[in-house]
Amino acid sequence: MSRIHRCDVPGCTRTRASWQRLCTPCFEALPREIRNRIIETRRLGRNPDWRAACKKAARYLAQIARPPRAPIRPRVTPQQAFANQQRLLGEQD
């Protein structure tokens, strides 16, 4: 029997072993709390909870794949730059 088993994470197209729920990369990337939830809810037949856990896993993986952009540094106006320079050099008006 060689049925192909797909990883439980929505959007993941990799295969998994029949006795697993997740492919190896997803399993390793997910926090234990999320993957245990997928395994447990599936084992208990709690399908709505299982689907929610799978969605949570997909969201988590999307988030770590695309980390939020670094905050844009506040711009310094030319006047402020000049004032900073004066202060650094100890110059007085």
Q: Please report how close the Cβ of residue 35 comes to Zn ion at its closest, in angstroms.
A: 10
CB 13, min distance to Zn ion, A: 8
Task: Tell me how far apart the alpha carbons of residues 37 and 46 are, in angstroms, rounded to a whole number.
Answer: 10
- Residues 77 and 81: their CA atoms lie apart, in Å, by 6
Q: Which one, 64 or 81, has the nearer CB to Zn ion? A: 64
Contacts with Zn ion by CB under 5 A lie at 7, 9, 12, 14, 23, 26
Could you give the 3-state DSSP secondary structure of residue 15? strand
Compute how many other C-beta atoms are within 10 angstroms of the C-beta atom of residue 70: 6
Query: Is the CB of 52 or the CB of 83 nearer to Zn ion?
Result: 52
Of 11 and 47, nearer to Zn ion (C-beta) is 11
